[in-house]
């Protein structure tokens, strides 16, 4: 009987700005913390840490009654600029 051992692929290193971009891009429409976690491919700790930081910068807002995050106008501008820069560098 043969065994198949699956190796977990390591996530390549991502800069802080890349993670912030992914979270803000995901939150263009209201998202729960769990959805942000999945769509930005971050851990629970990273999601919490970056969400707090993005809120402090005014790039992300949290709706307490719905339990969702949404990207602010300032955050949308960051997403556009980051996306544009990324395209130019590729």
pLDDT in tens, 11-46: 667 889 999 999 999 999 999 999 999 999 999 999
Domain membership of residue 63 (yes or no) is yes
How far, in Å, are 1, 7, 10, 77 from residue 4 at the CA level? 10, 10, 19, 46
pLDDT of residue 90: 81
Domain membership of residue 66 (yes or no) is yes
Under the banding of pLDDT at 50, 70 and 90, the label for residue 3 is: low
CA-angle at 46, arms to 82 and 38, nearest 5°? 75
pLDDT of residue 4: 55
Does this model's pTM top 0.85? My answer is: no
Do 11 and 55 meet the contact criterion of CB atoms below 8 Å apart? no
Give the model confidence (pLDDT) of 47-64 as tens digits: 999 999 999 999 999 999
Query: Which of 81, 89, 88 shows the shortest CA–CA distance to 25?
Result: 81
Residue 64's domain comprises: 16-89
| Rounded CA separation 62/85 (Å) | 27
Domain membership of residue 80 (yes or no) is yes
Domain membership of residue 1 (yes or no) is no
The CATH number of the domain where 56 resides is what?
1.10.10.10
How many structural domains is the chain composed of?
Answer: 1
């Amino acid at each position: 009987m043969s065994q198949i051992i699956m190796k977990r692929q390591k996530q390549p290193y991502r800069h802080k700005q890349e993670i912030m971009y992914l979270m803000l891009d995901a939150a263009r429409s209201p998202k729960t913390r769990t959805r942000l976690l999945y769509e930005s491919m971050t851990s629970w700790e990273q999601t919490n840490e970056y969400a707090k930081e993005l809120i402090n910068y005014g790039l992300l807002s949290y709706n307490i009654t719905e339990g969702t995050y949404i990207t602010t106008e300032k955050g949308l501008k960051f997403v556009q600029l980051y996306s544009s820069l990324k395209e130019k560098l590729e």
